[in-house]
Amino acid sequence: MEFDHVHLTLAACALPYNYSRTVRRRQRETRWIMTLPEQKGTVLLIVEDDRDMRSLLCDEFWGTGYQLREARDGDEAFLAVLQSVPDLILTDLRMPAGGDDYVSRLRTVAPHCPIVVITGFGDAALKARVLRAGANAYFDKPVRIADLKACVQQLLGLSTRTKES
C-alpha cells in the first residue's frame, strides 16, 4: 500500500473461504481502519465483554454490508460513541461499566441512535427498566440470530426515515 496526502492505493486479494475466525476478525478490523471518510455505510457498534460472543456477532453481521466497530465494555463503547455516533448500537448489558444506567448514559450522547440490548441475566423487571431508559429492543441470551438481524434491519429503516424527516 502506498500512502500520501492525496491518494490512497489499496491492494486486494482473494483468500480461501475456510480461513480461521482470527483471520476474519483481523480482516474486519483492517476494513474498518481502511474505510475512506467519504464512503457512506451503516455503522454498527457491537459492545460485548465476552470475546467469543463479540466475535460471533461480528461474524454474523460482517457479510451484511454493515461497517462494524467493536467495544469490550461500557466505557469503551461510550468513548467510541463520543468519537463518532454509529447508526446502531448492539450491546450486552452485564459487563464492566454496563448495568441499568448504561443505556441512559448512551442515550445522553446518542439520542437518536437505536440501541439493541442483549443479556443473559434478564427478567421482566430489567427489560422494563432498560426499555424505559431508552433501549429500542431487548433480547435474552441465547438469542436467535435471525430475529436479531430482522430487528436491526427494522430499526435501521426507522432510523433512516427519522433522520430524513
pLDDT digits (tens, 9 = 90+) for 99-145: 878 999 999 999 999 999 999 888 899 999 999 999 999 999 999 99
- Per the CB < 8 A criterion, the answer to whether 43 and 69 are in contact is yes
Residue 24 lies in a domain: no
- Give the count of beta carbons closer than 10 Å to the beta carbon of residue 68: 23
d(CA 23, CA 94): 28
Residue 1 lies in a domain: no
Residue 17 lies in a domain: no
Segments forming the whole domain that contains residue 97? 33-164
Total domains present in the chain? 1
User: What grid cell was written down for 32?
Assistant: 474498518
Residue 16 lies in a domain: no
CATH classification of the domain holding 93: 3.40.50.2300
Residue 65 lies in a domain: yes
pTM over 0.75: no
> What is the per-residue pLDDT across 57-114, written as a single tens digit (0 to 9) for each?
999 998 888 999 999 999 999 999 999 999 999 999 999 988 878 999 999 999 999 9
Least Cα distance to 71 among 50, 92, 97, 45 occurs for 45
Residue 132 lies in a domain: yes
